[in-house]
Structure 1
Amino acid sequence: MFLYYLRLAAKSALATPGPTLLTIGAIALGVAIPTALLSLRQVVAQDPIPSRSDRLFNVRVDNWEVGSQFYGVGEGEPPKHIAYRDMAGLMASDLPRFRTGVATARAFVFPESATLRPYPAMIRLCHADFFPMFEVPFRFGGPWNRAADQAQERVVVLSEASNQQLFGGRDSVGEHVRLGSETFTVVGVLDRYRPTPQYYDVINNAVGEVRGFFVPFDTIRSPGIGLTQTGDTDAWGDFPRNDYLAILDAAEFNWIQYWVELDSGSVAAYRDFVDDYARSQKAIGRFPRPLNNQVTPLMEWMRLRQVVPPAVNGLVILAVLFLVVCCLNLTGLLLGKFLARSGVLGVHRALGAPRSAIFLQRLVECELVGLAGGVLGLGLAALALGWIEKLAPGGPVPPGLFAASGYTFVVALALALAAGLLSGLYPAWRACRIPPAMQLKLQ
């Protein structure tokens, strides 16, 4: 019976191509906009590391001055970064399974190949635990160890893109790369790695390419090395601005995101450790504000940092309302189309077709048109996502990041079916209520 209704629906839709095409176009436009926005939201809001997101925590301590607020955080929130001296103090705890600071530096890269010119690059400062904590995959070699962190060894892990650029994609473990004024030995090369979002650094690089070079964090301490700290920073108080080590060791200069991995049984004890550390700093004259330390789970951290901007949620709501308005307008168009065929429907009723059959037949026609609009809307949504990818704020994003996916298809299909149902319910109900006797008289 359904196939019979489907044939009748196709025949009816083709019999009135003008209204049918107008309906398909309106549904396509109404479906495309929310589909693109929902797909965009899904990309940036998804759990980026489901296997261990419940064990990853961002750590903050409130070293800020009384009477002012750190840039870009809510009222009463501690700074979104910590100072180098606080990272060093927090590293003393053995409670976390893994722990790492995360920050960004910049330096010039001097390739050994005579065919490549020096170029500026962004450098990821991190500790050895960064790689197992965030499940970073390797194609060649592996990460350095904690001993290399302590010794400030000149070792580097290359991203896939940097290895391709410098060494043609071959196994470059053991090769040398000059960063700034010193030479680093390659110990590992990443496999394809593109977490979305880059949850370990949503402040500076949420959706961009991963940094091309990863080096032990404390190499930044070496004067004259040619690595310069960069990224989102803020500071307060007096400190010798020309003394680089004093800035690291004594200044209230916040620029580091600090991450730990804790099992569920260690979280409370670690929070106590952080509070005890803050009290020890108060005792020496730091941390003038009341204790306000935060050990924040990964997904909560992403929410606090508004990885999904509030404007996106507002746009999604507006887009869905736009689809509803399209459906309401199409209701009038479909009602006029069905009533124009009231004579045929009256004959069907007079020949014994029940109201339910007439209702279902009209509804199948509406859903068929809705599906056609959904297919067209899916194509428009894919084009919109490609456009968003090119114009993404913060610089270019990895190719294909916002490409149409299975999620996009499911959303478009669901919205198309909902649009067909919403547009067709009332016209189908009116069509099944046409009195057969009156139509036979008119015939």
Structure 2
Amino acid sequence: MFDYYLGLALRSLRRNKVLTALMIVTLGLGIGASITTLTVLRLLSGDPLPQKSARLFYAQVDPYTKDGYEAGKTKPQRLIAYTDAMNLLHAHQADRQVALALTDARIAPLRSGEHPFFSDGVMTTADFFTMFDAPFQYGGGWSAADDESRAQVVVISDFLNDKLFGGASSVGRIIRVNDHDLRIIGVLKKWAPQPRFYAQELGGRSYGDGDAVFLPLQTARAANMDPTNDDCWAVADITKLETAPCIWLGFWVELSSDAEVAAYTQFLSNYAQQQIALGRFYRPEVALSDLMQWLRNEKVVPDDVRLQAGLAFGFLLICVVNTVGLLLAKCLRRSQEIGVRRALGAMRREIFAQFMVEAGMVGLAGGLLGLVFAEFGLWCIRHQPAEYAGLAHLDVHMFLLTFLVALVSSLVAGLLPAWRASQLAPGSQLKAA
């Protein structure tokens, strides 16, 4: 029976080519616009570490001054001071903990004739790679002992290894960073979480290829590497950020249960009260946000992207309404044909099924055209200056979703015309004929 309906639908669509083309283009435009904006929204709001994001938490305490403080209303600062980072780190109250800051790394190739260049770097502590599931292609990370001894070591990215060493293992080789010779102990596989959540509070890029070099925090500071983001509330010597009244570090912890989360929150609160008693803190507020909540707090997804997605789906709704009108007009023009079929014994549900199959075919054709429009829209986005632009591509899930949206939209659009066609009385149509 489906083959019969399919044949009827094809004949009907070929009979009214202009009307058919108009319906397909209308749906295609709405689907293309909605899939384009949905792809961008999905890119920006995705979970960068779905396998463990629920276990990663961003910790905040507030060593800032009393200026502008309102008890119970003022949220803690996004960054923490070096002293607090070290105190929390050495307290070992979490399964893993990481202090980190971003930096600009000046890399000087040791081969003659090659010029120095700047790349994004991370100065951090030993748990970074295991905590954030950063995979290694060669070698591995450093130890907590290397942190304390300021070991002259570095981990580099796959793309930096390709650029400097042609992709071969560079473990044991020397690389010059900020005029200091560091020994490479590890090379990462391709690793670039999108968004780059650990850089969000540090003033770094949220999207892209990721960072090029990863250094022990104290090693980097000994090499006069400065953070890309700091906030000092008094005149400070940035070469002595470890003791200056400045906040410049982010702090992440890994906790494996709700009980551990509650215990660590209490630990942060007790720590803040202790520092108030010592005269270092004036603000008792603390915060512990899981990874996805932290990204929401930081408003990683711009409001205009959400607005564009909403407008695009509103446009799709308008396109569906227009398609309803076109299908309804097409149905009314075929009243006599429907009357003949009903007089020959076709039941209402069979007429309804016939028109729904026709609507589905329009939807699939609209999906194909919508796919073309979506690819064009994403191509336009990739040529914009936004930092996420280069990542705007349709993946398999969005490809399948395009046809699902097209099919659902067309079937919704076909409901009223199909119901109207099934309600036509055969007698009146045969008399009119």
TM-score of the superposed pair, with normalisation by structure 1 = 0.91
Partner of 1:431: 421
Question: Over residues 162-187 of structure 1, what are the superposed CA-to-partner deviations in whole Å (9 max), with x where a residue is unaligned?
Answer: 00111111110111111112111110
The code of the aligned residue for 1:147 comes to A
Question: Over residues 98-154 of structure 1, what are the superposed CA-to-partner deviations in whole Å (9 max), with x where a residue is unaligned?
Answer: 111121111321101124211122211111100000111111111111111111111
Match of residue 178, structure 1, among 176, 179, 199: 176
Secondary structure at the aligned position of 2:227 is classed as strand
Partner of 2:192: 194
Deviation at 1:50, TM superposition (A): 2.7
Deviation at 1:355, TM superposition (A): 1.7
Distance 1:351 1:54 in 2: 63
Partner of 2:329: 336
1:181/1:226 contact within 8 Å kept = no
Secondary structure at the aligned position of 1:92 is classed as helix
Match of residue 312, structure 1, among 298, 305, 316: 305
Q: Identity of paired residues, percent? A: 37
2:356/2:418 contact within 8 Å kept = yes
Distance 1:346 1:67 in 2: 81
Partner of 2:117: 119
The code of the aligned residue for 2:231 comes to D
Partner of 1:210: 210
1:100/1:127 contact within 8 Å kept = yes
**Greater Cα offset, 320-329 or 129-138:** 320-329
Query: What is the CA RMSD across the aligned residues, in angstroms?
Result: 2.1
1:56/1:297 contact within 8 Å kept = yes
Match of residue 375, structure 1, among 341, 359, 368: 368
Distance 2:69 2:365 in 1: 53
1:102/1:126 contact within 8 Å kept = yes
**Unpaired runs of 5+ in structure 2?**
none
Partner of 1:391: 384
Distance 2:228 2:199 in 1: 13
The code of the aligned residue for 1:153 comes to A
Deviation at 1:63, TM superposition (A): 2.1
Question: Over residues 274-296 of structure 1, what are the superposed CA-to-partner deviations in whole Å (9 max), with x where a residue is unaligned?
Answer: 2222122212322223x111121
2:105/2:213 contact within 8 Å kept = no
Residues paired across the two proteins, number: 429
Match of residue 395, structure 2, among 405, 423, 438: 405
Distance 2:354 2:256 in 1: 58
The code of the aligned residue for 2:117 comes to Y
Distance 2:297 2:265 in 1: 19
Partner of 1:16: 16
Deviation at 1:69, TM superposition (A): 7.5
> Is 1:357–2:339 an aligned residue pair?
no
The code of the aligned residue for 1:407 comes to H
Partner of 1:347: 340
Match of residue 269, structure 2, among 267, 275, 287: 275
Distance 1:118 1:308 in 2: 35
**Unpaired runs of 5+ in structure 1?**
none
Partner of 1:244: 239
Partner of 1:155: 153
2:126/2:143 contact within 8 Å kept = yes
Partner of 1:295: 288
Partner of 1:101: 99
Secondary structure at the aligned position of 1:248 is classed as coil
1:107/1:228 contact within 8 Å kept = no
TM-score of the superposed pair, with normalisation by structure 2 = 0.93
Deviation at 1:157, TM superposition (A): 0.6
Secondary structure at the aligned position of 2:137 is classed as strand
1:111/1:117 contact within 8 Å kept = yes
Deviation at 1:340, TM superposition (A): 1.4
Secondary structure at the aligned position of 1:250 is classed as coil
Distance 1:114 1:367 in 2: 65
1:390/1:396 contact within 8 Å kept = no
Q: From the superposition, tell whether residues 69 and 354 of structure 1 become closer, same or farther in structure 2 (CA, over 3 Å).
A: farther
